[in-house]
Amino acid sequence: MKSETATRQKKDGIKSFQKYVNYTQSVFLKTVDLDLLEDQRQGVNVWDLGTEYSYIDCFCSAGSFNVGRRNPRIVRALEKALDQWNMGEHLFPSAPKAALAEKLAAISPPGLKNVLFGVGGGEAIDSAIKMARGVTGKKKIISLAKAYHGHTGFALSAIGKAVYRDPFEPLMPGFSHETAINDLEAIATATDDDTAAIILELVQGEGGIFVAEQVFVEGLRRLCDDKGMMLIFDEVQTGFGRTGKMFCCEHYGVYPDLFVLAKSLGGALYPISAVIYSDQIRTFMEENPELIESTSGGSDLGCIVGCETIDFLLENDIPGHAAAMGDYIGEGLLNLATKHEGLVKEVRRKGLMIGLEYTHDMMGPLMSYYLGKNGVLAIFSANNPKVMRFMPPIVINRDEADKLLAAVDRSMASVMRSSRIITRAVKLPLVGKVLGVQEMQVFLILFTKTVAKIIPKKRGSQAL
């Protein structure tokens, strides 16, 4: 829907974003041709304001749109709820809160029937870590290398990537994050009598889609039982059908003491998160009822959206659908990896939580760029540019999946072509000619202007 008004709106929107939100982010997105402003959103698709372009959303706010964008059933439920409800009163019980808590307890694994609401993922992780420290009376928290848990104080302390933590140190004492996923022995060595909890994502999302192995997860459960430690699963990205089951831990048949839900609980419309926890921890929570509060957490509207989201997923067996579509798209990507030999190092996935690792750092940004041109929104990891996540809405159908795979095919062909140009160009002594190649510019702009700047330099003390 290209109109003059929309074009102007887009131009003004971008200008304001640069001025009042973040200039570098806008440059970063422009470089990979993803400087769109989201206009219409429907199902797996999003349209750019002021242009004719539409994109299949494979980022989905890192897996927040499992039910699809603007799922009509959930939009209707929220619209209707506005007649009677708003955010409510965080201290007082209400029918929506009770209903969502009951629903979450009903779909959660055995032994996990207690609910604490929050409003964001980071906050819920902070709560879970607090609860683990509180109930055990111990201090140490072990997370994994490459772990990603959020940006609030406790969650940030548990992040496994130094780049997110460094400028803000010193963070919470007692946190360690050196152990790689699936290295049970190293984790066992890292624990001691003062270890309160081990926290992990069963599929590391931001870290690059690394999947925990069955023996590792079983081993962690045993280890925690032996040493009286809490096992915390961060199911913020893996929850609500993303991996082909309602919760990822169901694949393993291994259950934690606490698990954390956010993102897709909000039905792509409303912020809400939750910690689901064991009866042992409930005792601590009942003894200390005023320790953890969240004014905006578990708001009445958020609970109504959460209820409708869960009903939608259950009634349509969307987790089962995600498993089937995960197989289909996963297979398709593997075939494309074979077809465009030398481009993809590995396809890693669980259900529709899919990660492609390319053979070279420059491939990620180039793929983002070409995928954008081919109508797919997929973003490489800023801290590991050769890894790209594909997390489309899990309601994606066969036709849409075929469209997605065709776009990946075309993009891979373009990247193969340009990487040949780059390989050749690099050999030329004439720098000017190298810079004349458009793909090389993309690569250079990206690395000099953005990625390089995201990596913080050592800095001394300085006055404002």
Name which of 49 and 202 has its Cβ closer to another protein.
49
Q: Which residues in the 243-272 window bind another protein by CB under 8 A?
A: 262-263, 266, 268-271
Least distance (Å) between residue 318 CB and another protein: 18
Q: Does 65 bind another protein (CB under 8 A)?
A: yes
Give how far Cα 147 sits from Cα of 82, 123, 199, 215, 402, Å.
38, 16, 9, 19, 32
- Rounded to a whole number of angstroms, the minimum distance from the CB of residue 188 to another protein is 24
Among 21, 426, 430, 431, binds another protein (CB under 8 A): 21
Distance CA 361, CA 365 (A): 8
* Contact by Cβ (8 Å): 221, 259: no
Q: Under the criterion CB under 8 A, does residue 154 sit at the interface with another protein?
A: yes
Interacting span for another protein (CB under 8 A) from 94-102, 338-346, 400-408, 430-438: 94-102
Three-class SS of residue 179?
Answer: strand
Cis bond before residue 256 (omega within 30° of 0): no
Residues between 375 and 404 with contacts to another protein, criterion CB under 8 A: 377, 379, 382
State which residue, 190 or 285, has the beta carbon closest to another protein: 285
CA distance 193 to 138: 8
Query: Site for another protein (CB under 8 A): which residue of 3, 4, 92, 193?
Result: 92
Q: How far is the CB of 120 from another protein (least distance, A)?
A: 4
Please state the closest distance from residue 333 (CB atom) to another protein, in A: 22
The β-bridge partners of 55 are 46
Question: Count of residues binding another protein (CB under 8 A)?
Answer: 134
Q: Which run of H or E residues covers position 444?
A: helix 438-445
Give me the least distance between CB of 414 and another protein, in Å please: 22
Of the listed pieces 102-110, 247-255, 330-338, 356-364, which binds another protein according to CB under 8 A? 102-110
Q: Where are the alpha helices (DSSP H) in 253-299?
A: 279-287
Strands ordered across the beta sheet of 258-261: 114-118, 273-277, 258-261, 230-234, 195-200, 140-144, 175-179
Q: Counting contacts by CB under 8 A, is residue 64 touching another protein?
A: yes
Note whether 107 and 137 are within 8 A (CB).
no
State residue 136 phi and psi, 5-degree precision. -90, -20
287 or 331: whose CB is closer to another protein?
287
Q: What φ, ψ does residue 343 adopt, rounded to 5°?
A: -95, -40
CB 321, min distance to another protein, A: 21
Spell out the residues 6+ positions from residue 98 whose beta carbon is closer than 8 angstroms to its own.
none
Q: How far is the CB of 431 from another protein (least distance, A)?
A: 27
Q: Applying CB under 8 A, which of residues 51, 53, 107, 134 lies at the interface with another protein? A: 134
For CA atoms 309, 314, 320, 325, the dihedral sign is: negative
* Segment 34 to 63, residues that bind another protein, using CB under 8 A: 34-38, 40-41, 46, 49, 57, 59-62
Question: Cβ of residue 6: shortest distance to another protein, in angstroms?
Answer: 10
According to CB under 8 A, which residues from 279 to 318 bind another protein?
Answer: 285-297, 299-302, 304
